[in-house]
Amino acid sequence: MPELPEVESLRRILARTAVGRTIVSVRIGEKRLRRRVTADFGGAITGRRIVKLSRRAKYLIIQLDGDHVMLVHLGMSGSLTHRHNGFDADDFDPRHDHLEFSLDDGSRLVYNDPRRFGMVRLVERAALASTAELKGLGPEPLSREFNADYLAAKARGRIGAIKNLIMDQRIVAGIGNIYASEILFRAGVRPTRRAGRVTRGEIEKIAAAVPVILRAAIGSNGTTFRSYRDSRGQPGRFAARLRVYGREGKPCYTCSTPIKNVVVGQRASFYCPKCQR
């Protein structure tokens, strides 16, 4: 699933290539996404100009002139590519290309989602923060609101695993399975530890590791294992820098101990039994 680094990488690229462009037409190939595309969707955004790209957690927010924004989630396998002149004008694949936005410079934004777990939703700007998707989200992990004091307060007394805590979108918004494993490895904390028993010093290491891992991943345009592509159709490069995720049985880069995998919160959780206590 695309996580915060993938969505932030996408936002940064589209901010350079799509902002200022006007949507001149909309093609809808499949309405049955996580949220069904409404009948008036195309008409409501045709003629609107893209004025800004922003992000909240794992959601991309395409701000249009007027009273609406498009809220985009890539689901498990989605992508939003900006197709320019190098693409065939008739390359729209009705099997997985579900939405196409033709822009006034001849380029196209195409939403592709083989598993259809994502969504593209039109939302009134004034109601954005109160939508079901964004309401109740915790602070952004790259913001000043997220720090060791905040995380320590949230961890205090909790019996659930520390990995589940930092993946809880109500606690901190945007951290998913891949980066939670990498953050905890960098901090030297085993993912199965009870959050309430993690020491203050360890909490500080976790809070410090969060921006380091996320910013490194953003700088590599995220992680691709199978299907994720950025707006240019390119895979993320951070997979080559993963220390534990997906490396079960392989030697730890630090101590050569075989990496282990345990299920935490129904998710595969990779760790080094020697480096992480």
Helix (H, G, I), strand (E, B) or coil at 166: helix
Is-contact 72 18, C-beta < 8 A?
Answer: no
Which residue type sits at 225?
F
267 is catalytic: yes
Q: What's the distance, CA 85 to chain centroid? A: 28
Match 């700007």 to its residue by tokens.
125
237 is catalytic: no
Is-contact 235 217, C-beta < 8 A?
Answer: no
Catalytic choice (21, 48, 55, 58): 58
Which residue type sits at 237?
R
Catalytic choice (3, 6, 100, 202): 3
235 is catalytic: no
Catalytic choice (12, 194, 260, 267): 267
251 is catalytic: no
Is-contact 137 169, C-beta < 8 A?
Answer: yes
How far apart (Å, rounded) are the C-alpha atoms in residues 137 and 134? Answer: 6
Q: Of 12, 94, 80, nearest to 229 (Cα)?
A: 80
- Run of H or E including 108: strand 108-112
The residues near 265 (Cβ < 8 Å, ≥ 6 apart) are 160, 161, 163, 164, 167
Task: List residues with catalytic annotation.
Answer: 2-3, 58, 267
